[in-house]
Amino acid sequence: MSWWVVGLRGAAAILFGAVTFMLPAVTLAVLVALFGAYALVDGFFKVATAVHHRGDRASSSAPLVGGLVGIAAGIVTFVLPGLTELALLYVIAAWAILGGIAETAAAWRFRRRSSGEGWLGLNGVLSIVFGVLTMLMPGAGAISVAWLIGLYAIIVGALLLRASLRLRHWAGRQRPTGIIPIGPAHGG
């Protein structure tokens, strides 16, 4: 998994969360558009990760499923902008639960390959918890939902940024540096 893709996903999540917090009274139409855009971008990055790792079936299937779920959630959000708040909550909840399951599965598969898989797993578990809580609180008002979504996005974004740093560190340790030592011990 490319560390910078995970980092971009984290940055996008934090940006989405910050905008949601700064504009809590945003209309449902704008909230729908923000969620749809975020789900599409996140989904495309996950699919890109799966395509990048297409030779390794274990590394590509979970991001592919999560990415396709995200893209589908984004498309549904834009195609049906008149969704009621309740329907939107269930779309968001299903997206979070299915995406969380895919993230947790990916972390499980990466557990022996890198040291950042714990953060990816925690991200998946938080996504599942967020989805379940959203389904249990369908009567919440739009502002409460916006704050909950914003908080979720910021936490997930921070976890993804942390995971990207761990993956970057791990990737740097896996590649040869290409530096040839020169000195008395090496004939220099």
pLDDT, residue 139, reads 57
pLDDT, residue 113, reads 65
Domain extent at residue 20: 3-171
Question: Token match 């008395």: residue?
Answer: 184
Q: Cβ contacts of residue 159 below 8 Å, gap of 6+?
A: 10, 119, 120, 122, 123, 126
Q: Is residue 186 part of a domain?
A: no
Q: Is residue 182 part of a domain?
A: no
Q: Which ranges constitute the DSSP H helices of the chain?
A: 3-22, 28-52, 57-79, 85-110, 117-136, 142-174
* CATH number assigned to the domain comprising residue 12: 1.25.40
Q: Is residue 181 part of a domain?
A: no
Residue (of 87, 54, 83, 50) closest to 68 by Cα position: 50
Q: Is residue 165 part of a domain?
A: yes
Q: Which ranges constitute the DSSP H helices of 80-116?
A: 85-110
pLDDT, residue 112, reads 65
Question: Is residue 114 left, alpha or beta, with left meaning phi > 0 and alpha meaning psi from -120 to 50?
Answer: beta
Structural domains counted in the chain: 1
Residue (of 118, 186, 124, 153) closest to 12 by Cα position: 153
pLDDT, residue 49, reads 83
Following CA atoms 129, 97, 79, 31 in sequence, which dihedral angle do they give, to the nearest 10 degrees?
20
Q: Is residue 91 part of a domain?
A: yes
Task: Supply angle C-alpha 116, 47, 149, rounded to 5.
Answer: 70
pLDDT, residue 15, reads 92
- What type of residue is 94? A
pLDDT, residue 143, reads 65
pLDDT, residue 182, reads 55
Q: Is residue 66 part of a domain?
A: yes
pLDDT, residue 158, reads 92
pLDDT, residue 187, reads 47
pLDDT, residue 152, reads 87
Low-confidence ranges of the chain (pLDDT < 70): 1, 24-29, 56-60, 81-85, 111-117, 138-144, 174-188
